[in-house]
Amino acid sequence: MRTKKIIKRLISFATILFAVCAVTFCTGYEMLNNNYTALDAKAITQTKNPTAVSGFKLKARSSSALRLTWTKNTSADGYIIEQKSGSTWVRIAKITKNTTTEYRVGGLKAGTAYNFRIKAYKMSGKTGLYSGYKTLSARTNPSAVSGLKLKARSSSAIRITWTKNTSADGYIIEQKSGSTWKRIAKITKNTTTEYRIGSLKAGTAYNFRVKAYKMSGNVGLHSGYKTISVRTNPSAVSGLKLKARSSSAIRLTWTKNTSADGYIIEQKSGSTWKRIAKITKNTTTEYRIGNLKAGTAYNFRIKAYKMSGKTGLYSGYTTITASTSGSSSGSSSSTVYKTCIICNGNGKCTLCSGTAKCGVCFGEGGVWSYSTFLTCPNCSGTGVCPYCEDGKCSSCDGKGKTAVTVTNPDTSGSSGSSSGSGSGSSGGSSLPMIQTCLVCGGTGLCNMCNGTNLCQVCHGRGGMSVPTYGMGGDDWVVCQGCHGSRTCEYCNGGRCKTCGGTGRR
């Protein structure tokens, strides 16, 4: 007959000795029967399984690895780690020292959840004894953003773009302000792969960085950062205008652009724009284009540029159309260029030791004559004979205006040429004659303010036309028809037809 006994409450990882012998039972008491052969005592050794692993948790993670950790198990020789693949658990590590309490699992996919389990083991001779399993679920971080680059820029905005990150839920964008990074956007879809940052300063460098994020329950997992440095374009040139012109040159001017290093100027030739100048200082705000044709319209455009390393950044274009003075046909009414009598051709002001531009020729060193039409002094622009009122004015051939060429006087005070369809009202002489200005004495400067401003009679030109007394007929003198009396000398007191009864022209 077999007899067994279950012995409970043993100590874990302990060796217990048992002795077994035969006894004879007598009524009322137990006695060892020495008359029978005694059963030899047999020593039996039995080892209990190690306790389960405790403190099993995630210590660190990246986009391709997870590091697991746990508490040292003194009842074990080591540990077995397994990873779940589909529905199967696969051993990935056997750790033979119980003092080793962490393990790194590499070669993982970014942004992916994984399941692991661990058990302790103890060798009893050649037999392995094992604890129960402890299980852990952990997710890798999303991978870092790739392909981060500049897509487009303007003077006030920058657009960045990157490659879609399939391991992420979205992206975090930050901008550097001084020494601090500040979040400027959270993009909640990984399919959105570009972002525009506006309200920036022209010609200014900015730093941005992007990281991907993945939600693991309520916990946000983040990739490392990718950084980009970009600069905005300079702002467009403002204040572009014509400063001065002659029959063969045009001078442009504009406002200084503090966001730029300099300027590019182009001229249109047919249907093509051609660069004619690169100005390397933003403090230079004017440019003279020479070798042009008289009386011809030209198109120019200008853009600002800013160097970002070895890359040139450009503003948009600002365009202007300007014409040279004179006639393109080369007739007697064409513009005639003459040396400026104020600065003697050097373009510098004679009143301030040559440190500023001449206020008459604006630094050109010369002035020019120009063609214009003056109101006919004989018929006062009516085109009708002032004497018979039923005939055509012979001075202007009934047109009411007389074509003249007004020329700036030279230093000798010689008069410019004039042309018309008929003679003037005074002795048949041609009109008008250019004479030295009687107010400024030909200097072109005001004699009422110590010569610091232009003469307001001849407008700084040093000469005036007679009898219209001034350039272009802008000023008035005593009427040559009635000599200021306002009445007609031919009809005994009627209103003078030449000045319309005003006594002036």
pLDDT grade for 42, boundaries at 50, 70 and 90:
very low
Contact by Cβ (8 Å): 243, 323: no
- Higher-confidence position of 383 and 491: 383
Tokens of 498: 């030449």
Average pLDDT of the chain to the nearest whole number: 77
Q: What is the pLDDT of residue 20?
A: 52
Q: Burial code of 366-384, b = ≥16 C-beta within 10 A, e = fewer?
A: bbbbbbbebbbbbbbbbbb
Q: Choose from 34-48, 136-150, 359-373, 435-449 the range with maximum mean pLDDT.
A: 136-150
The pLDDT of residue 81 is above 70 = yes
The pLDDT of residue 414 is above 50 = no
Instruction: Report if pTM > 0.85.
Output: no
Distance from C-alpha of 49 to C-alpha of 383, rounded to nearest angstrom: 130
What is the residue extent of each domain of the chain?
A: 149-231, 241-323, 332-474
Domains 149-231 and 241-323 share a fold: yes
Q: What is the pLDDT of residue 325?
A: 84
The pLDDT of residue 278 is above 90 = yes
Cis peptide before 432 (omega within 30 of 0): yes
Name which CATH class applies to 149-231.
mainly beta
pLDDT digits (tens, 9 = 90+) for 133-168: 999 999 999 999 999 999 999 999 999 999 999 999
Average pLDDT over residues 52-59: 97
pLDDT digits (tens, 9 = 90+) for 453-479: 666 556 665 555 444 333 334 444 445
- Amino acid symbol at 340: C
Lowest mean pLDDT among 129-138, 164-173, 388-397, 493-502: 493-502
Q: What is the pLDDT of residue 422?
A: 38
Looking at 217-296, which runs of residues are DSSP E strands? 219-222, 226-231, 241-245, 250-253, 262-269, 272-279, 286-289
Nearest to 245 by CA among 301, 319, 321, 304: 321
Q: What is the pLDDT of residue 247?
A: 87
**Residue 471 backbone phi and psi in degrees, to 5:** -75, 130
Q: Choose from 131-145, 379-393, 405-419 the range with maximum mean pLDDT.
A: 131-145
- Higher-confidence position of 408 and 347: 347
pLDDT grade for 221, boundaries at 50, 70 and 90:
very high
Cα three-residue angle 414-416-422, rounded to 5 degrees:
130
pLDDT grade for 1, boundaries at 50, 70 and 90:
low
Q: What is the pLDDT of residue 326?
A: 74
Residue that is written with structure tokens 């890798």 in the block = 140
Average pLDDT over residues 299-306: 97
Q: Structurally, what CATH architecture does the domain formed by 241-323 represent?
A: Sandwich (2.60)
The pLDDT of residue 410 is above 80 = no
Average pLDDT over residues 409-416: 36
pLDDT digits (tens, 9 = 90+) for 328-374: 544 433 344 556 666 766 777 766 655 666 666 666 666 554 444 55
Q: What is the pLDDT of residue 48?
A: 87
